[in-house]
Amino acid sequence: MKREDALKIVKKQLTDHRYQHTVGVMETAISLANKYGVDEKKAELAAIFHDYAKFRDKEEMRSIIIEQHMDKELLEYNSELWHAPVGAYLVEQEAGIKDTEILDAIRYHTSGRPKMTRLEKVIYLADYIEPGRKFPGVDEVREKAEKDLNKALIQSIQNSIIFLMKKNKRIFPLTFYTFNDLITQED
């Protein structure tokens, strides 16, 4: 699928602000893909479609999680997590993308997972560090992303976990498993 066609499909699903974020994620993902030897076209498409389901009705997403036998534990956590796995499903169904590497990069861009592929890491990180993001710790992660994909990913997940803990928010277990897996790789 051509970039222009993908962006046209996604633009209909997003607010103007979220569309600008998506363009930033796409540009960042392409840059990271080139730096870390990831297929640029796959990174581009995964980045374009990563937030495809972001503004879907929560009840629609809940139904898809149940009907498609996704991890039911998702329903016990913040609905912000839902758009990633639901998005992967909808991108396949509605946009016709069948590439499992692209779909998995979309599916795990909010939680991560143990044994992430480099494409999955690129999309997770591009979403976190795209130029429009402004929050404490993002510049440190951007600097690390220039030198080491895993170290940047570890820092981004650590920042997210600490942020959620300070807000007394529940943390999806897959995020902890991802962090532990990445730390183990560093040992």
SS3 breakdown of the chain: % helix, strand, coil, rounded to 5?
A: 70, 0, 30
Q: Is residue 145 assigned to a domain?
A: no
CATH number of the domain encompassing residue 126: 1.10.3210.10
Which strand (E) or helix (H) includes residue 176? Answer: helix 173-186
Q: What is the pLDDT of residues 144-165, one digit of tens each?
A: 999 999 999 999 999 999 999 9
Q: How many domains does the chain have?
A: 1
Residue 78, pLDDT above cutoff 90: no
**Residue 130, domain extent:** 3-134
Q: Is residue 141 assigned to a domain?
A: no
Q: Is residue 187 assigned to a domain?
A: no
pLDDT-based confidence at 1, cuts 50/70/90? very high
Q: What is the pLDDT of residues 12-27, one digit of tens each?
A: 999 999 999 999 999 9
Q: Is residue 179 assigned to a domain?
A: no
User: How far, in Å, CA of 75 to CA of 134, rounded?
Assistant: 29
Q: Is residue 11 assigned to a domain?
A: yes
Q: Is residue 12 assigned to a domain?
A: yes
pLDDT-based confidence at 187, cuts 50/70/90? low
Q: What is the pLDDT of residues 103-143, one digit of tens each?
A: 999 999 999 999 999 999 999 999 999 999 999 999 999 99
